[in-house]
């Protein structure tokens, strides 16, 4: 199934030293798009801005990436939440994939991590987090776990690019994932409470195989 791929790029002040790496990672991902895939470029700092709506035109996508301008505080949680909500109006009958390229700092979101995880459990989106560590000595160092939590909950991955040399491996890993996914559906039985959070475990009979899949779903009404 083709994919809607949202590239959500951090342009906050804390990424000033890594802006070039953020843009280069995004460009390499655009060049890996498969036939039929659509991508969207989103810029976030304290605001959420769509620089290029969903398209398969790589020239437009790369031009939008070049518009990324550093400034402002970081609202990572807000950006992920808004993109999850906006996937509902994206082209239909496609996988929804979000690739966030950020240092993981959040300094100004109105939303909490729990609120974002709640929205994620209502979504079918898979999130990949590419962490580009800030060299700003004022940046916090506790953001890796947050990025891992968002990726793991959705069945995605959290990867760190310490330099541009790491980008090839990261882009290849994500592209390999996108080309080798299975979509499984099931109908849950009657439960004591439809509003409870239901955990999911996916196992395969193949020896020594590792499965990445969503960890849960929330049966409460969509928000």
Examine residue 114 and state whether it is found in any structural domain, yes or no: yes
Q: Is residue 12 part of a domain?
A: yes
Domain of 176, in residue numbers:
3-184
Task: Say which DSSP state 31 is in.
Answer: T
Average of per-residue pLDDT across 150-164: 92
* Overall number of domains in the chain: 1
Q: Tell me the pLDDT of the chain averaged across its residues.
A: 90
User: Which DSSP state fits 91?
Assistant: P
**pLDDT at residue 209, as a whole number:** 86
* Residue 219, domain member (yes or no): no
Count of CB atoms within 10 A of residue 222's CB? 8
Tokens standing for residue 165: 């040399």
160: DSSP letter: E
Pairwise CA distance, residues 130 & 21, whole Å: 11
Rounded to whole angstroms, how far apart are CA atoms 110 and 65? 26
* CATH number assigned to the domain comprising residue 172: 3.40.50.410
pLDDT at 103 over 80: yes
pLDDT for 36 equals 93
Within-domain flag for 142: yes
Q: Which residue has the higher pLDDT, 62 or 199?
A: 62
State yes or no: pLDDT of 56 exceeds 60: yes
């Amino acid at each position: 199934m083709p994919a809607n791929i949202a590239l959500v790029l951090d342009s906050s002040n804390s990424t000033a030293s890594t802006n070039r790496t953020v843009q280069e990672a995004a460009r390499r991902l655009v060049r890996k798009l498969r036939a039929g895939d659509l991508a969207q470029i989103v810029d976030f700092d304290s605001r959420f801005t769509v620089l290029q709506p969903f398209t398969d035109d790589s020239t437009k996508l790369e031009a939008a990436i070049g518009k990324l301008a550093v400034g402002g505080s970081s609202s990572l949680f807000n950006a992920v939440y808004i993109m999850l909500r906006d996937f509902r109006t994206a082209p239909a009958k496609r996988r929804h994939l979000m690739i966030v390229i950020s240092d993981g700092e959040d300094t100004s979101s109105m939303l909490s991590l729990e609120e974002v995880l709640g929205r994620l459990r209502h979504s079918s989106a898979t999130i990949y987090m590419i962490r580009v560590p800030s060299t700003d000595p004022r940046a916090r160092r506790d953001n890796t776990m947050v990025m891992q939590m968002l990726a793991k909950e959705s069945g995605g991955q959290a990867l760190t690019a310490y330099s541009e040399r790491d980008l090839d491996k990261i882009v290849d890993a994500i592209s390999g994932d996108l080309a080798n996914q299975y979509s499984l559906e099931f109908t849950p039985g009657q439960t004591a409470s439809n509003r409870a959070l239901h955990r999911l475990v996916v196992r395969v009979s193949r020896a020594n195989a590792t499965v990445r899949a969503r960890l849960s779903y929330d049966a409460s009404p969509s928000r």
